[in-house]
Amino acid sequence: MDKTNDPKLTSWVAVAADSHFPIQNLPFGVAARTDGECFIVSAIGDRVIDLSELERRGVFSNTPLTGMNIFQGTSLNPFMALGRDCWKAVRSTLSHLLKAENPTIRDNAELKQSVLIPASEVEMVMPLEIGDYTDFYSSREHATNVGTMFRGVDNALMPNWLHLPVAYHGRASSVVVSGTPIRRPTGQTLPEEAESPQFGASKVLDFELEMGFFIGPSGELGDPISVNDAENHIFGMVLVNDWSARDIQKWEYQPLGPFLAKNFGTTISPWVVTLEALEPFRCDGPEQTPEPLPYLRSTGKRTFDIQLEVALAPDSAEGTTITRGNFNTLYWDMRQQLTHHTVTGCNAQTGDLLASGTISGSNNKSLGSLLELTWMGKKPLKLVGGEERKFIEDGDSITITGWCQGDGYRIGFGVCNGTIIPATKV
């Protein structure tokens, strides 16, 4: 075990047992001060760690980052591009500085005040520049549920589904950070029994419980990334809500797939949690039958035990947890997703976002969308306070949380939150 993952490791910074950010996590993000100035940070407990200030004071002089000024910008991209050795060196340095017995920052009041800032005093912003966005369809349970709704039980999974990670290219420009309001989309729909489409605001708006990962070092055009090398190109993970307008999608998606139904907004959590932090929570994924083609054969513990929850809160009302799931139920893993994406020679680039697709479990309390939870609106959900929901209404907030539970600590992702605001009148 890497010493930064030791469950007995403690910090001189107070960290609650249920905090998402113990010393074993040390995620990366970008924060904004009240004057709008943005700076690169990590997190511990209820504090953010100013990495730009630590770098200016020479803290990383004994790492591969010496002389690079890699944390003086407002995006994680330059750091992400450096690769795993650099990521581990920074993580190790931070862990050493923050452990309980190290006095370097602990006993220096001026330094401590400069580099440790209450999280309540900053706003977390988009942590990096996203070049491209791909959304997969990797939950067998979700694909089966949706296929059953639209094609029947006998044709639930398309013939290709068990042989490759199905995906589509999304819209990177509308990926937003947690807390950003999402405007209800407008578009064409074909109401039941209607002979021609109508234009207006979507009436069947949904969330999708997902996780995503960011590309670190780029791949070369024409040079596929092998399944055994894939994780060397994965910097870290975030929570994802890929909002979906089901009625728009139903009319538009044939034959080329989602377009307007998905391009109006995708919400991500602001903290990027590294694979190093998740390492103790590796686990086996679902058995894959038939065995994938050789280029997709991913061995060992290929996924992570990440608990997931979704809450729905009507405007100014108490939230209701509407589903609980786990990342480890996904049939296709991140290695396979990235390898398949690049097998043609497609060049994955630093900052690209690849999302899992909706994560649904095997029971009715672990489904990753309202489409499934209400079975196309036929079984409305009852919320705390007595309201019901078939799909998302204006003013509703969706909050996704996720964490790995350790012995007395947890490695968390914070929250991925978005509130629906009314459509623009056209």
Q: Which residues of 274-289 are buried (b: 16+ CB within 10 A; e: fewer)?
A: bbbbbbbbeeebeebe
Q: What is the CA radius of gyration of the chain?
A: 22
* Residue 168, amino acid: Y
Hunting for tokens 């017995």 — which residue is that?
101
Q: Of residues 142, 233, 340, 341, which has the active-site annotation?
A: 142
Nearest of 412, 394, 402 to residue 368 by alpha carbon? 402
Neighbours of 255 (CB within 10 A): 4
CA distance 368 to 228: 29
Residues found in the chain: 426
Question: Encoding tokens for residue 226?
Answer: 């092998």
Q: Token pair 């909706």 is at which residue?
A: 358
From residue 378, give the alpha-carbon distance in Å to each of 317, 388, 396, 409: 24, 12, 20, 40
Side-chain-facing half-sphere of 15: CA atoms under 13 Å = 28
Name the residue among 248, 296, 240, 301 with its Cα closest to residue 272.
240
Which residues share a beta bridge with 321? 311
* 142 is known as an active-site residue: yes
**C-beta atoms surrounding 199 within 10 Å:** 9
Active site (catalytic) residues = 142
